């Protein structure tokens, strides 16, 4: 008969799995809800793979099949039929396009003075300079080392009547100590990255030309072009430029990957706050920048530049300590706002169950963020963290619109098959330590190799076996190790949660393994929903002055006829003069307290 404790934990695990099946949401967008694909082979659209054709984004190529940007964004043609002039297009979906402008109106009716000030600065400042805010405490040091300048430091008193342009140097000085990083930003924002060809093709008006209620903030009225024929809204050029800058900086400084992307999304959102762009404009700007960044980073001609930029940033910047304010220090807030801005709350207007397609070359966008994975593994990360299908303008055939790079930076969303990860700590950076924060589902398991440390912080429901061969695998959530067996064959398995940690199947630890438990109260317990087989080392870290009482349980399991024993016990945190002794049964490990 199974122990009552184990049965309770199994019920709790089942409920958590059901929650994982139905998904966790931010702003109505399912972060991991997309159907899992059976493979990650790219789909070739009629205009060719974007990464192979990105240099066709030029003013002389203005058709869906000749310009990959226009092709990638052509899902907009399901909503809008471009006309021959700026005001002669036809709405094909009134309700969705009206909703697009209504969202601008709603924001305009509630924007605050502080929001208007930031929207002005994000309009007038060069985008590469603005995105540097995503570097947090390192922002000032980066700007100094890169020699980056701006002449727009505040909102001038006469900004409502006078137009001001930024005469700074945008990304910085190519001859500075961060010159290679500056060069990479400039390369991504180079000759083939303009939004103007797509604007010209789609000829979709800016929101204030659809409705006077979608008003531009007063300080930006002087920026409105008198000639609307050269002032299209879709896609947003500022958003495109912000994301391109963020992708370049994130490649060189992956330690701030999600923060830089959040800053780019903020700048895009400020285009809506300003009344200058609609949500679809901003979504289009993000999608085109994602594809362009991958195309440029994949180009063999840029291989040495991107490698030099990464090496330079790590050497010149990451060893410094900055004091600038970090507006993006809250991970949960970053995740929420970034995810909301992927779809802006639009309803799904097409089939919602299509598997994610990963574009050719998209894996380069995670190259420095997850260096311990190979290209195919990074493609699986992108496939298992993508958006659900059916959202307006995001269902391009290659899959650029459905990529969720914030979620991808948090590792796999599912183990479709067994995943082997080798983290060699001596290489430093993310090789040494990283966290996978997604709720990982799937039928596969995890095999951890190498001396580095991998944290699993999500509410995981994958059913395959977790095998630890070397290094450290730390569970920072009660269900971090999923529903399958756990085998510790030579590393350190760490439990680091308050309350119960669940192992969904059997637990086996060899003589070379270490189990590390952090115990701060009597409620801290490792619950094994299968049989247990102990060996190797047990390390107990007692926190907050906690001293267990005699017969305190630290591990419970199903009846285990061959449960074995740990060969070595190490403790930290006990008051002087106290030691503990494990007492084994076929369903538990208890502690006896010995006071010298």
Q: Which domains does the chain have, with CATH numbers?
A: 45-408 (1.20.144.10), 439-595 (no CATH)
Distance CA 57, CA 196 (A): 9
Residues of the chain scoring pLDDT < 70? 1-34
Label the pairing between strands 80-81 and 90-91: antiparallel
Q: How do residues 197-231 score in pLDDT, each as one tens digit? A: 999 999 999 999 999 999 999 999 999 999 999 89
pLDDT of residue 14: 36
Q: What is the mean pLDDT of the chain?
A: 93
Percent of the chain with pLDDT over 70: 94
Instruction: Please give the backbone phi and psi of residue 582, each rounded to the nearest 5 degrees, phi first.
Output: -75, 140
- 3-state SS assignment for residue 33: coil
pLDDT of residue 34: 56
What single string gives the DSSP state of each residue in 278-340?
-HHHHHHHHHHHHHHHHHHHH-GGGHHHHHHHHHHHHHHTTTS---S--TT--HHHHHHHHHH
Place of tokens 């102990």: 534
Distance CA 6, CA 11 (A): 9
Place of tokens 């790079």: 405
pLDDT of residue 105: 98
Distance CA 75, CA 457 (A): 36
Q: How do residues 265-285 score in pLDDT, each as one tens digit? A: 999 999 999 999 999 999 999
pLDDT of residue 397: 95
CB 254 within 8 A of CB 405: no
Pair of tokens at residue 44:
């070739």
Place of tokens 């060699």: 424
Instruction: Please give the backbone phi and psi of residue 223, each rounded to the nearest 5 degrees, phi first.
Output: -85, -10
pLDDT of residue 29: 44
Strand partners, 590: 553, 583
Distance CA 459, CA 453 (A): 19
Distance CA 389, CA 402 (A): 7
pLDDT of residue 35: 74
């Amino acid at each position: 008969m199974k122990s009552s404790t184990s049965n309770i934990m199994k019920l709790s695990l089942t409920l958590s799995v059901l929650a994982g099946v139905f998904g966790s949401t931010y702003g109505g967008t399912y972060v991991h809800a997309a159907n899992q694909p059976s493979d990650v082979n790219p789909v070739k659209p009629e205009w060719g793979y974007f990464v192979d054709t990105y240099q066709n984004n030029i003013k002389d190529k203005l058709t869906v099949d000749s310009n990959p940007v226009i092709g990638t964004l052509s899902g907009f043609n399901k909503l809008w039929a471009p006309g021959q002039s700026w005001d002669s297009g036809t709405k094909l979906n009134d309700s969705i396009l009206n909703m697009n402008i209504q969202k601008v109106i709603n924001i305009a009716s509630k924007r605050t003075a502080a929001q208007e000030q930031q929207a002005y600065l994000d309009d007038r400042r060069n985008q590469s300079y603005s995105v540097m805010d995503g570097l947090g405490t390192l922002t000032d040091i980066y700007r100094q080392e890169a020699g980056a300048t701006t002449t727009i430091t505040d909102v001038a008193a006469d900004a409502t009547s006078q137009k001001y342009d930024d005469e700074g140097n945008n990304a910085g000085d190519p001859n500075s100590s961060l010159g290679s990083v500056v060069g990479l930003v400039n390369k991504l924002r180079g000759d083939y990255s303009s939004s103007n060809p797509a604007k010209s093709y789609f000829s979709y008006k800016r929101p204030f030309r659809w409705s006077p209620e979608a008003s531009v903030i007063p300080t930006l009225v002087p920026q409105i072009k008198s000639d609307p024929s050269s002032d299209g809204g879709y896609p947003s050029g500022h958003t495109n430029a912000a994301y391109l800058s963020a992708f370049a900086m994130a490649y060189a400084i992956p330690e701030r990957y999600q923060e830089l992307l959040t800053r780019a999304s903020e700048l895009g959102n400020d285009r809506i706050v300003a009344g200058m762009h609609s949500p679809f404009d901003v979504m289009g700007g993000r999608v085109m920048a994602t594809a362009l960044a991958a195309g440029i980073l994949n180009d063999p001609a840029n291989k040495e530049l991107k490698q030099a930029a990464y090496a330079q940033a790590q050497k010149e910047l990451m060893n410094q300590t900055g004091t600038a304010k970090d507006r993006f220090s809250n991970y949960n807030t970053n995740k929420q706002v970034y995810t909301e801005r992927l779809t802006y709350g639009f309803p799904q207007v097409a089939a919602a169950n299509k598997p994610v397609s990963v574009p050719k070359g998209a894996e380069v966008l995670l190259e420095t963020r997850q260096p311990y994975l190979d290209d195919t593994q990074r493609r699986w990360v992108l496939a298992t963290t993508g958006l659900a299908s059916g959202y307006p303008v995001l269902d391009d055939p290659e899959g650029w619109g459905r990529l969720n790079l914030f979620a991808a930076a948090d590792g796999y969303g599912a183990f479709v098959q067994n995943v082997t990860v080798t983290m060699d700590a001596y290489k430093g950076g993310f090789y040494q330590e990283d966290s996978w924060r997604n709720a990982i589902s799937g039928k596969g398991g995890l095999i951890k190799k190498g001396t580095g440390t991998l944290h699993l912080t999500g509410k995981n429901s994958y059913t395959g076996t977790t095998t630890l061969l070397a290094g450290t695998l730390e569970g920072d959530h009660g269900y971090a190790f999923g529903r399958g067996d756990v085998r510790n064959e030579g590393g350190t398995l760490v439990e680091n949660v308050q309350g119960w940690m669940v192992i969904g199947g059997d637990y086996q630890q060899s003589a070379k393994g270490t189990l590390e438990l952090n115990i701060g109260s009597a409620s801290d317990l490792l619950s094994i929903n299968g049989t247990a087989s102990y060996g190797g080392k047990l390390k107990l870290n007692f926190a907050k002055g906690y001293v267990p009482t005699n017969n305190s349980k630290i591990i419970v399991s199903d009846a285990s006829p061959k449960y074995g024993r740990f060969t070595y016990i190490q403790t930290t945190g006990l008051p002087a003069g106290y030691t503990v002794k494990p007492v084994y049964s076929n369903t538990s490990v208890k502690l006896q307290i010995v006071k010298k």
